[in-house]
Amino acid sequence: MKIIAITGKGGTGKTAVAGMLIRHLARRGKTLLAIDADPDSNLPDVLGVKIDKTIGDMREFMLQERDKMAPDTNKERLLESKIYEILTEMPEYDLLVMGRPEGSGCYCFANNLLRGIMDKILKNYDLTIIDTAAGLEHLSRRIIRDVDELLVVTDGSRRGLQTAERIRELAKSLNLNIKKMHVIANKVTPENRGQIEEYTKKLNMDLAGIIPFDENIAKFDLEGRPLSELPEESAALHGVGEIVKKMGL
Ligand SMILES: Nc1ncnc2c1ncn2[C@@H]1O[C@H](COP(=O)(O)OP(=O)(O)OP(=O)(O)O)[C@@H](O)[C@H]1O
Ligand SMILES: [Mg+2]
């Protein structure tokens, strides 16, 4: 069981990278779970999957029903069965969407249940890939506690790289259990490649790989087409394949 979380500054390409990673990994015969942990969820679109309900919806359900339940209801088992109901099963991977963040009520009860349930669910898979929103707050809510590999996606901008550095510090201060952290440079052009390599070296961060700027991705995005249809020979897809090899996934 390995948990990979993808983070980075807004708009650097986290979801696109997640989508392409899933496409590569799904073929390797491993059991794979994809989790969209961005409240502004768009991983299903990138994967070309329609989803109906989210974990957030199920958490709301539990809170609303809590007082009406018979005292002997096994709440953990009930929520677990609700999560399995909303799990989307694709031929090569399963998908869960976290959905909206908590409202103003007290969510400790539901979140505590969720933590245990997610721990259990993740154990069923060889690999879990989590696409996150910019920032680490969602991880700090600690529904998912342990991350084996944190991938920080940056674009060629100095701010993207500074965010990568900040995330490293934040991970330390939040006491998150992150085993390894790597940087992935995305939307790389021949012009900014040297600078990115130099800067990551200076920050002493492992550069897992470089994904070129790829016209196809921008085009697919505009046309609302999923990256699962991206041509096999696409430069970005190739870049992600190299990362998968380098990381030994
Ligand atoms: N390698 C690439 N080449 C060209 N365009 C790319 C590449 N990667 C991502 N993009 C484009 O950059 C934009 C942002 O990508 P994406 O939505 O994956 O970023 P994100 O980090 O997930 O954003 P958010 O922080 O909003 O979740 C999209 O329009 C996407 O099509
Ligand atoms: Mg995204």
What are the structural domains, with CATH classification, of the chain?
2-54+87-103+123-247 (3.40.50.300)
What is the residue whose two structure tokens read 């099963």? 89
**Whose alpha carbon is nearest atom 25 of ligand 1?**
10
Average pLDDT, the chain: 90
For 145-164, the pLDDT digits (tens) are 789 999 999 987 778 888 88
Residue 14 in contact with ligand 1 by CB distance below 6 A: yes
Q: Are 21 and 130 in contact (CB under 8 A)?
A: no
Structure tokens at 249: 């996934």
Q: How confident is the model at residue 138 (pLDDT cuts 50, 70, 90)?
A: low
pLDDT of 202 strictly over 90: no
- 227, HSE (Cβ side, Cα atoms, 13 Å): 29
Q: Which two tokens stand for residue 125?
A: 């898979």
- Answer yes or no: is the C-beta of 47 below 6 A from any ligand 1 atom: no
Give the ligand with the smallest distance to the CA of 184: 1
DSSP per-residue codes, the chain: -EEEEEEESTTSSHHHHHHHHHHHHHTTT--EEEEEE-SS--HHHHHT------HHHHHHHHHHHGGGS-TT--HHHHHHHHHHHH-EE-SS-EEEE--S---SS--HHHHHHHHHHHHHHHTT-SEEEEEE-SSSHHHHTTSS-EEEEEEEEE-SSHHHHHHHHHHHHHHHHTT-EEEEEEEEEEEE-TTTHHHHHHHHHHTT-EEEEEEE--HHHHHHHHHT--GGGS-TT-HHHHHHHHHHHHHT-
Ligand 2 midpoint to CA 6 (Å): 9
Indicate if the pLDDT at residue 165 is higher than 70. yes
Bridge partners (DSSP) listed for residue 36: 97, 131
**Which of 187, 188, 228, 237 has most ligand 1 atoms within 8 Å of its beta carbon, as the pocket-test mutant?**
187
Whether 78 has a pLDDT exceeding 70, the answer reads yes
Q: What is the pLDDT of residue 139?
A: 62
Instruction: Evaluate: CB of 13 within 6 angstroms of ligand 1.
Output: yes
174 has a pLDDT exceeding 80: no
> Tokens 């694709």 — which residue?
90
Q: In the structure, what pLDDT confidence band is assigned to residue 204 with cuts at 50, 70 and 90?
A: confident
Burial class of residue 67 in the structure, from the number of CB atoms within 10 Å of its CB (0-12 exposed, 13-18 middle, 19+ buried)? exposed
Question: How confident is the model over 93-117, as pLDDT tens digits?
Answer: 999 999 987 776 777 888 889 989 9
Q: How far is CA 130 from the centre of its chain?
A: 2
Residues in CB range of 72: below 8 A, 6 or more apart: none
Ligand 1 pocket test, pick from 9, 12, 42 with the greatest ligand atom count within 8 Å of Cβ, gives: 12
Nearest CA to 178 out of 207, 209, 122, 136 is that of: 136
